[in-house]
Amino acid sequence: MMKALSIKNLQKTYKNNIHALQDVDLDVEEGDFFALLGPNGAGKSTLIGIVTSLVTKTAGKVSIFDYDIETDFSAAKACIGVVPQEFNFSIFDKVIHIMMTQAGYYGLPRQIAYARAEKYLKKLNLWDRRKQSVRSLSGGLKRRLMIARALVHEPKLLILDEPTTGIDIELRRATWDFLQELNQKGTTIILTTHYLEEAEYLCKNVAIIHQGRIIENTNVKSLISTLDVETFVFDLTAPLNLDFSVNGFKTYMSDSHTLEVDVPKARSLNDVFRVLLEKNIAVKSMRNKVNRLEELFVRLINK
């Protein structure tokens, strides 16, 4: 099987002597939907930057569909579409102009360029806004415009750096659906994220990066199945002492009305409810906390 991305022994040391990437080996198969998951500062954007030739590597080898990014630069570049973490267009430009300029950059004839712009702006619900300036778009729509722009030359590999950060839930869902459809039609997708949920919902395979090193590389399902603690957040109707505890569980009070409890899979939530009942504490609502990523890191780093 062809590899969409192959990275061997990649190193990046910035001028300030920060080792942003150390001994990174990574392969992504053609057709995969791959997550590079890690906290802020882990090295995700540096890795994406090197793959897309915006950042120079210190050492190592990177190939895109077997094209070396150094010796086969143009061929490699033609295979990639990238959605960077930061907005990088002129906010006074019109939406359609952004698309046409990008198409021109890839040498597409005008007619094809316009057809592609129409196709992807429609898919991302931006066609009606094609004559508006980028400035008038919400953060979420700007992000979607960057996705449309990255697709204008129909790359085989789409790379997105934190594509849904700062997007509201509705638009996030729509963006996820769009990416899923794109992947199903054959585009290989790599995204970086610091949301485990995003990787879980979208991706087949995942690499976890921590302090510039890949500390896990597996399929998402088996990664998720190793998690054995869930945190529940209880919103309480009455305030509680901040040093309140439930015997046998790790608890935190994030404020006087919010109790967080770590519940191992083997244990029952009933035990938590029992203690709360005994103390006459009523629970207004309960939700599952999104912090399983932290648990993963603790486990991986100590293994």
Residue type, 261: V
Other C-beta atoms closer than 10 Å to the C-beta of 90 total: 13
Least distance (Å) between residue 295 CB and ligand ADP: 19
Least distance (Å) between residue 175 CB and ligand ADP: 19
Contact characters 42-81, ligand ADP, x per CB under 6 A: xxxxx-----------------------------------
Least distance (Å) between residue 19 CB and ligand ADP: 8
Distance CA 181, CA 220 (A): 19
Restricted to residues 182-211, the positions that interact with ligand ADP (CB under 6 A) are: none
Nearer to ligand ADP, 69 or 272 (CB): 69
Does residue 45 belong to the site contacting Mg ion (CB under 5 A)?
Answer: yes
Distance CA 285, CA 140 (A): 29
**38: partner contacted, choices ligand ADP, Mg ion, none (Cβ within 5-8 A by kind):** ligand ADP
Quickly list DSSP for 213-273. Answer: EEEEEEEHHHHHHT--EEEEEEEESS---TT---TTSEEEEEETTEEEEEEETTS-HHHHH
Least distance (Å) between residue 146 CB and ligand ADP: 16
| Neighbouring residues of 11: CB distance < 8 A, sequence distance ≥ 6 | 19, 21, 22, 23, 24, 57, 58, 59, 60
Residues in the chain: 303
Q: Pick the binder of ligand ADP from 3, 29, 31, 41 (CB under 6 A).
A: 41
Nearer to ligand ADP, 152 or 208 (CB): 208
Which token pair is 236?
């309480």
CA-nearest of 56, 61, 43, 81 to 159 is 81
φ and ψ at 115, to 5 degrees? Answer: -65, -40
**43: partner contacted, choices Mg ion, ligand ADP, none (Cβ within 5-8 A by kind):** ligand ADP
Nearer to ligand ADP, 31 or 60 (CB): 60
Contact characters 56-85, Mg ion, x per CB under 5 A: -----------------------------x
Residues within the interface to ligand ADP (CB under 6 A): 14, 16, 18, 20, 38, 40-46
